[in-house]
Amino acid sequence: MNSVQPYSIGLVFYPGMTALDVIGPQTVFSALPNVQIYRIWKTSEPIITDDGMVIVPDMTFSDCPSLDVICIGGGLKQAAIENDPDLLDFLRKKGSTAKFVTSVCGGSVFLAKAGLLQGYRAATHWTMRQGLAELGVEVSTERVVIDGNRISGGGVTAGIDFGLTLAKILWGEDAAKLAQLLIEYNPAPPFDTGSPEQASPELVQTALSFATEHLDLGRVVS
Amino acid sequence: MNSVQPYSIGLVFYPGMTALDVIGPQTVFSALPNVQIYRIWKTSEPIITDDGMVIVPDMTFSDCPSLDVICIGGGLKQAAIENDPDLLDFLRKKGSTAKFVTSVCGGSVFLAKAGLLQGYRAATHWTMRQGLAELGVEVSTERVVIDGNRISGGGVTAGIDFGLTLAKILWGEDAAKLAQLLIEYNPAPPFDTGSPEQASPELVQTALSFATEHLDLGRVVS
């Protein structure tokens, strides 16, 4: 038994989420000592991610204890959930007591919809920057943004950088470095197309068309 | 309807697996057109990953159609499964007809146990290099290794680089570049500790102690 109360980290798992958004940081946290991770949804019924994977949440909104960290990611089908009153109530409630209120990718839109990001700088998936700004958030193009106790990561794979950043804050630099070594995070991107600033205008346009089609949204930035 | 037969990609989902190993590439493949992904295990009963997440496979060994790509990842608890005759039979059977026989992280050990990697070069998680070599595989420290129709990635996060590499081969460079942009793979590792070659000897030793404890194995490399 560890005598220290573990850090409790709550990840919201909702239908249509992008799994990697929060599984990136989850993997980082799992390489750290003394942590309790909850995968939280309204019920314990399985959810289906936007890439078709079936995951069973292990904590419900109503049973969830207080959290040190609340985190929500984005998803190709997040629009259907963004105004869910139960979810926004849950985020507000846990956000009011959590040490850190956090998001990855389009998750920042949920936080903004819950009123938790106005007056803060935050990151999001690049296709959703305008949508987040329209909610009154100061949008940053940084990969990970720390503003007070709000920490947000950019799109999808930024969750790994976000996770290591939060690990440094909560567990210290040595532990975060250890986590990076254990998950062999020594990335070798095969192309220089990982951000709209790097990619060609044509590729950005193709990606926007894909995103518009799959997000089924009118808010995608052009 | 797309008139072209989709690429069928089978990911083995087993109890004790590291989710990110295969969810990294799964996320890449999901950003590509015309793909059918199967998450495969003996039964459709939920499996629990090594970080405690409950995932429901959507395809069984006995029902699985022929695959263009068979892929298996590693896991902190993979030792308990490594000699499973049903799994090794399944890998051999699908491996004999698949266009590509692939792995991420400790997944290469499963391929080797099934006799699918002897005579090939392959990558694995750095703590398992010696174990893989002892199975008669030519172990590489590269992040992604292509040797004939065997493709393997190094530890955990290398699955993303592996996924993009395979995407380039199957869908072409433009499609792979698009996938990289959509998942915003523009990594910003906070530390230079992502491989044992970069990390300090002390950190490597700490990581080996962690791995030995959690892997519950005697084969971890010193």
For B16: left if phi > 0, alpha if psi spans -120 to 50, otherwise beta; the answer is left
Contact A179, A45 (CB under 8 A): no
C-alpha distances (whole Å) from B17 to each of A205, B77, B204 are: 37, 7, 22
Q: Cβ contact (<8 Å) for B187 and A191?
A: no
Sheet holding A54-56, edge to edge: A47-48, A54-56, B54-56, B47-48
pLDDT tens digits, one per residue of B112-170: 999 999 999 999 999 999 999 999 999 999 999 999 999 999 999 999 999 999 999 99
Dihedral of the CA atoms B188, B198, B176, B26 (nearest 10)? -90
In DSSP terms, B40 is beta-bridged to: B12, B59
What one-character DSSP code corresponds to residue B5? P
- HEC letters along B71-134: EECCCCCHHHCCCCHHHHHHHHHHHHHCCEEEEECCHHHHHHHCCCCCCCEECCCHHHHHHHHC
Closest CB to A181 among B53, B182, B199: B199
Instruction: Name which of A22, A182, A203 to mutate to probe chain B: the one with the most chain B Cβ atoms within 10 A of its Cβ.
Output: A182
Domain ranges of chain A: 7-190
**Which CATH number is correct for B7-190, 2.170.190.11, 3.40.50.2300, 3.40.50.880, 3.60.15.10?**
3.40.50.880
pLDDT tens digits, one per residue of B184-205: 999 999 999 999 999 999 999 9
> How far apart are the C-alpha atoms of B9 and B100, rounded to whole Å?
9
**Residue (of A72, A36, A35, A39) closest to A56 by Cα position:** A39
Structure token digits, residue B212 = 């030995």
pLDDT at B212: 83
Which residues of chain A neighbour B154 with C-beta distances below 8 Å? 184, 186
Contact A20, B27 (CB under 8 A): yes
Closest CB to B190 among A126, A161, A186: A161
pLDDT at A221: 39
Q: Cβ contact (<8 Å) for B193 and A182?
A: no
pLDDT at B214: 75
Furthest C-alpha separation in chain A: 56
pLDDT tens digits, one per residue of B76-100: 999 999 999 999 999 999 999 999 9
Enumerate the H helices of chain B as residue ranges. 19-30, 85-97, 107-113, 129-133, 158-171, 173-182, 201-215
Residue of B nearest to A54 (CA): B56
- Half-sphere exposure of residue B181: CA atoms within 13 angstroms, side-chain side: 26
Active-site choice (A23, A81, A105, A170): A105
Structure token digits, residue B24 = 């990294």
pLDDT at A222: 33
pLDDT at A219: 47
> How far apart are the C-alpha atoms of B157 and B214, rounded to whole Å?
18
Q: What is the pLDDT along chain A (222 residues), one digit of tens a residue?
A: 445 679 999 999 999 999 999 999 999 999 998 999 999 999 999 999 999 999 999 999 999 999 999 999 999 999 999 999 999 999 999 999 999 999 999 999 999 999 999 999 999 999 999 999 999 999 999 999 999 999 999 999 999 999 999 999 999 999 999 999 999 999 999 999 999 999 999 999 999 998 888 775 444 433
Catalytic residue IDs of B: 105
pLDDT at A189: 97
Q: Which residues contact A81 (CB under 8 A, 6 or more apart)?
A: A14, A15, A16, A75, A87, A110
Which residues of chain B neighbour A158 with C-beta distances below 8 Å? 184, 186, 188
> How far apart are the C-alpha atoms of B119 and B61, rounded to whole Å?
26
Q: Cβ contact (<8 Å) for A20 and B27?
A: yes
Of the given ranges (A204-218, B14-28, B31-45), which has the lowest mean pLDDT?
A: A204-218
Query: How many Cβ pairs within 8 Å bridge chains A and B?
Result: 213
Closest CB to B181 among A39, A173, A199: A199
- B207 three-state secondary structure: helix
Which residues of chain B neighbour A204 with C-beta distances below 8 Å? 181
Residue of B nearest to A18 (CA): B27
> How far apart are the C-alpha atoms of B136 and B117, rounded to whole Å?
8
